[in-house]
Each structure stands twice: as structure tokens, then as C-alpha cells.
């Protein structure tokens, strides 16, 4: 019932042109110390949450006209991922599995709904994000990163906007964002 309530609230705002999924849950622990509940919570938040979000968003995006659609298509469905989706490492087994599932979901949706005029893209965030959570939770990491060593919120938002505005003849399915200092 809650899921349908969210969809109804979104539809009440008017036509949907872009939807961004930006949720995650991570248990940071050695694999043998991760509980089934922690692993399940990471999966529920990133993978299952991404599916439920996408299903509701796609219903709104598909309601947009396809004939005469803008060069950008009917709209965009964007997922925030992480480097962990590409390569898991300790102590992030649950997070990596959940983000890999989200990445696979976005690829499946891109192949299914791209031909219907919906741009689906996955954004790999590779590095710390300069925000209150990182600065208060890990001030030493923020200090060590130095100037422009963390992803800036406005720069991330600009990249998402550019994905949404892309002409449908040249859509990006996956984009990596990282500070210039980030080793990869």
C-alpha cells in the first residue's frame, strides 16, 4: 500500500520527465561478521528499492507521448551506483552485491525501455561526496582529500542533468564520476 501511495503522490505533481534513484544501505564489516539481516537490508534498499522505484517511475514516464517526443525522448530514469557495483572488496560484500544488482537492473531496464523512448542510465560514483554526512562522519577523509578531492554536489547534479538532456541518438547507459585525484 505504501508503494502505491508514493506513486500516487508523484503522479499528483504532474507529468514526470526525470526520476533519480539515489538510495543505498551498507553494512561495513568482514564478510563472516555480516548478518543475514544486514545483507538483506542492503539488498532491499539498493536492489529491491531500485526495482520498486523504477516500476512506479516508468509508469509515469510511459504516460508521456512518444510520437513527437522531444529529442531527449519521453524522459529519463537515472540510478546512482557505486564503484562497488563493478568490483566488490572487503569490508563491503553486502553493499557490493546490492549495487551490482542495481546496475544489472538498470541495464535490463535500458534495453527494455530505451526503444520506448525512456533514457535509463546508471551513474557510478567513485569517491567521497563532499557533504555534511562525510564531513561530520569522516572529517579526516575530507581533510586528506584536499581541494576538489571529493565529488562536489553541484558537479554531480550537472552530470545528471546532462544525462537527462542527451539527444536520444547518443544516450549514455553508464557514466563514471570521480574526482581527479581518485585512484582507480
Q: In angstroms, rounded to a whole number, what is the distance separating the alpha carbons of residues 82 and 177?
A: 9
| pLDDT for the residue numbered 76 | 96
List the beta bridge partners of residue 70. Answer: 73
List the beta bridge partners of residue 175. Answer: 123
Q: What's this model's pTM, rounded to 2 decimal places?
A: 0.91
CATH number of 18-177: 3.40.50.720
At 82 the three-state DSSP class reads strand
The tens digit of pLDDT for each residue in 13-67 reads 778 999 999 998 878 899 999 999 999 999 999 999 999 999 999 999 999 988 7
The tens digit of pLDDT for each residue in 136-145 reads 999 999 999 9
Domain range annotation of the chain: 18-177
Please give the sequence-ordered ranges of beta strands (E in DSSP) within 83-170, or none if there are none.
118-125, 129-130, 151-152
Amino acid at each position: 500500500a505504501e508503494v502505491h501511495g508514493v506513486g500516487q503522490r508523484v503522479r499528483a505533481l504532474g507529468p514526470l520527465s526525470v526520476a533519480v534513484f539515489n538510495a543505498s544501505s551498507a553494512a561495513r564489516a568482514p564478510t563472516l561478521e555480516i548478518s543475514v539481516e544486514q545483507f538483506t537490508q542492503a539488498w532491499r534498499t539498493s536492489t529491491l528499492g531500485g526495482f520498486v522505484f523504477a516500476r512506479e517511475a516508468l509508469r509515469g514516464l510511459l504516460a508521456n507521448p512518444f510520437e513527437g517526443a522531444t529529442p531527449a525522448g519521453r524522459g529519463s530514469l537515472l540510478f546512482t551506483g557505486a564503484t562497488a557495483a563493478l568490483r566488490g572488496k572487503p569490508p563491503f560484500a553486502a553493499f557490493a552485491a546490492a549495487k551490482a544488482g542495481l546496475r544489472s537492473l538498470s541495464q535490463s531496464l535500458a534495453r527494455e525501455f530505451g526503444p520506448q523512448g525512456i533514457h535509463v542510465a546508471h551513474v557510478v560514483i567513485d569517491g567521497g561526496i563532499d557533504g555534511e554526512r562525510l564531513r561530520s562522519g569522516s572529517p579526516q577523509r575530507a581533510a586528506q582529500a584536499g581541494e576538489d578531492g571529493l565529488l562536489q554536489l553541484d558537479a554531480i547534479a550537472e552530470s545528471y542533468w546532462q544525462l537527462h538532456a542527451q539527444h536520444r541518438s547518443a544516450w549514455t547507459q553508464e557514466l563514471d564520476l570521480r574526482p581527479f585525484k581518485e585512484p582507480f
